[in-house]
Structure 1
Amino acid sequence: MSTTPPGLGEPRGPWFVSPDLTAAGSPTARPGPDGGPAAGDRRWPRLLLTGLAVVAVSAGAGGTAGHLAARPDAGPEVTGLVPPPSASADPIASDLVAAAGQVLPGVVSVQVRGSGRAASGSGFVIDDRGHVVTNDHVVARGGTVSVVGADGRRLTARLVGRDPDTDIAVLRVDAGHALRPLPLAPTGQTRVGESVLAVGSPLGLSGTVTAGIVSALDRPVRLGGGTRQPAVQTDASINPGNSGGPLVNTRGEVVGVNTAIATLEGSGSIGIGFAIPIDRAARVAERLIAAG
């Protein structure tokens, strides 16, 4: 994969294959809207640091994933420590726990196989008809699409429609599988500084929840087709495989669709992630559903 160029650029790579997928081929940078390499001026206004770049957090062919193991030499339990505070003494943490429990049943892993390549990302259910929102760059390469629910069920999904310009795509599974739709945050209610959770399948680790805050609103970032769009900025940890997953508030309402991260000199996440505001994502999804 080529080195990430300086400047906030159009989202693409890093690509990653979930551990339960198989794919042939080598890592490939995400193509631009015309099918060739992403092009155009990727320099951000000079007020930003040189070397800052935005990359998609989808996952595609050629990546690898590790795993965690308990230390075999772990020592005996230490006694005499101060006990943790009760849940009532930590209302913010309690709110986040409740929000995670509410949204996890409606979040899915999105997996794509085809033409010797594989890709994976995340998505979430938006209605009781089985429609699932994800990022366009997760499914843009084509192939057979399936989703894996929180209960481990793998369901075949049909691509309803794509919108490369806004980086939104809609899938559909059989409504009889009872996936839980997530509520959407009311327009204009999201506030800078409020706690949020990023939910999805980073590096193939389904059902992963990370916490942070809304760092900024209406942050202009190049997403999808390359035009600058206002995005929700967050410091909740977002990594490859999170693409298409929801960013939710403490009420369990979706405030955005996780889609990209900022990096410095090709490094990984630096605590600056971007999500498509849910009001825009919902409008695009409704249009795609009506046309599909």
Structure 2
Amino acid sequence: MHNKTYPGWLFFFRVNMAGFALLHFLAIQPDFDMLYSYKGYIYPDIMDTATDHFSPTLVSLQHYVGVPYDTLLLLCRIAYPLALVCLILGFCTRLSAVLSLFLQLLLLKSIHLFEYGVDGYTTIALFYCCIFPVGYIYSIDNRLRKFIITPPYAHWLFLLKAHLCIAYFFSGFDKVIGGTWRNGEALWKTVHSHNYYSLFSLDFLANTPFFLLAGWGTIILEMGYFVGMNSRKVRMWWLGAIVCLHLFIALFMGLFFFSAMMILLNLCAYYTPYIDPERFRKR
């Protein structure tokens, strides 16, 4: 695995982050009214009382724009996927990214009691789409310019890698300072608290060192992420192990969207930048 990088990862990042956000939004459509409307689990104005009142919500925004809540909700429900489609295609890329980020935060903060890890990472990914030059390669914007611009991308790739390295290190550090991950108890509890999502039971491994070894393996993978992922010799092996870790989380904890997001971010940072498009075309 060589260390030369190529700008094609920007295209991969744009399409996959926007596509992921779109799929995630479409996945909640059967429950959309139950989450956002006044016929749902919690009235929107009651939900709004528990916000930080810093980020805008649908309830707070309706007072400024003078639009009824249901109308505003319908507009956002249509505008958000349209903005994401434009971002995928690379049409008015920067504007589409900013609009997507604003609408994602607006919809997310309006039901903040239901948010979890994947929502935060989606916000981060869309924010990076706003500041990264993701529209400068394989996009409608680039077609309309009628000439190809090779954007400076090395420092943006460094930022993405640094973000992942810090996130994984402190995730592993949080695990190692407690006793439950070091003796396998945390992994046992985690798997069994979500056992209804598992493909099959792991109870037959109860009297084996599997959970102890898996706990330590997770700690080593996360705390050693920086060294492993930035080493030419072991990068692909470490990346494969990280992907397997998130596949395990998806299959045995039911966190499908979270796992998919983390796998995509890892591929964006440590796989696609090293794909030579010329060699790919020759093959």
With the shorter chain as reference, the TM-score category is: under 0.3
Higher RCO (CA-CA < 8 Å; seq separation 6+): 2
Structure label with greater radius of gyration: 2
TM-score (norm 2): 0.26
Greater per-residue strand proportion: 1
